[in-house]
Structure 1
Amino acid sequence: MSAAPPDLTVTLHGDREIRLSRDFAAPRHLVFAAFTRPDLLVRWWGARGWHLIECEVDLRVDGRWRFVSRGPDGTLMGQGGTYREIDPPARLVCTELFDDQSYPGETLVRHDFTESVGRTTVVTTLRFATRRGRDTALRYPMTRGLAEAFDRLTDLLHPTTEGVTP
């Protein structure tokens, strides 16, 4: 695993989990909205140079989500899953499976949003179906890509940014 950027904490738990944590200078209802509203997701989701060209969110338990991103060289990457738990603005749990996934099984993704004095910490726990899946994901530039996406989210949530409404 490559070193995580200083504002992103990455830890391993057990043999199948990766836990990522990042703080945002925004109330959690806005951060939660940025994770669940297509009009906001298209503005920050993905590493630098990647942009969502398809963003479908059926935000209900057993509802499906689907994202397709286009990279700087035109490469397409699709992923989707099913929402398992929705507790605004505290928790969002879903499954995740990539169209061209190189490891077995669905990943369970849990986002926990906690707020203190107007700042929100997002802790994302990725629970892979197998240790091999976790280890394969760790070989990808996942932490760099996620850090870049979270930088884009920070820009979106900055108080001078228009368009993020409660």
Structure 2
Amino acid sequence: MTSTTRETQIVSDPDVPLVRIAREFDAPPEKVYRAHVDPALVVQWMGPREIEMRIDHWDARTGGSYRYLAVGDGEEYGFRGCFHELRPAELIVQTLTFEGDPDGVALEKYRFEDLGGRTRLTTTSLCDSFADRDAFVASGMVDGATAGYEKLDEFLAGGAGGTT
């Protein structure tokens, strides 16, 4: 599966149970990175507009962990994981588990590439199996990432509650 919405490119690898998402932002890597690690900023842009993000726990450091809730239409969905490596404005390596499927764990890498004042963010999510990867894609997580990145564009431009 490959689709493009605005500048968001989403590819499901045919040979490995991996989803790759690439997106460019009109902000330097430091700002895009901070928007991914500062919980006060994360809740302002992550996920679709109709979903409220609530941080339960957020310790964004190498060896730290997190848990957040996506809340909408009277439903709550919990997500948790561990931060394995954080390199400011360069790299985030973390795990992600949807609490509705506690046996499914994705290994995620976020790479922040400096394009001279702009940033190319490439995210890979490696799942346990093709079935888990396909369920991840079918669940709307990929669409949520696309919608969230549209909100992040607005946020970085100062149009959604401030600047980073």
> What is the TM-score of this pair, normalised by structure 1?
0.89
How far off its partner does 1:55 sit? Answer: 4.5
CA RMSD of aligned residues (A): 1.9
How far off its partner does 1:49 sit? Answer: 0.4
Conserved 8 A contact 1:4-1:143:
no
Structure 1 residues 15-164: aligned runs within 5 Å: 15-71=16-72, 73-101=73-101, 104-159=103-158, 163-164=162-163
CA offsets per residue over residues 57-90 of structure 1, 9 Å max, x none? 212222111111211x121111010011111110
Q: 2: distance between equivalents of 1:38 and 1:56? A: 9
Conserved 8 A contact 2:2-2:9:
no
- SS of structure 1 residue aligned to 2:163: coil
Conserved 8 A contact 2:81-2:97:
yes
Unaligned 5+ runs, structure 1 = none
State the AA in 1 paired with 2:69: V
Distance 1:141 1:4, change over 3 A: farther
Greater RCO (Cα-Cα under 8 Å, separation 6 or more): 1
> What is the TM-score of this pair, normalised by structure 2?
0.90
Q: 1: distance between equivalents of 2:39 and 2:158? A: 20
Q: 2: distance between equivalents of 1:105 and 1:116? A: 34
Conserved 8 A contact 1:42-1:55:
no
Q: 1: distance between equivalents of 2:119 and 2:39? A: 20
Conserved 8 A contact 1:47-1:149:
yes
Q: 1: distance between equivalents of 2:96 and 2:69? A: 13
Unaligned 5+ runs, structure 2 = none
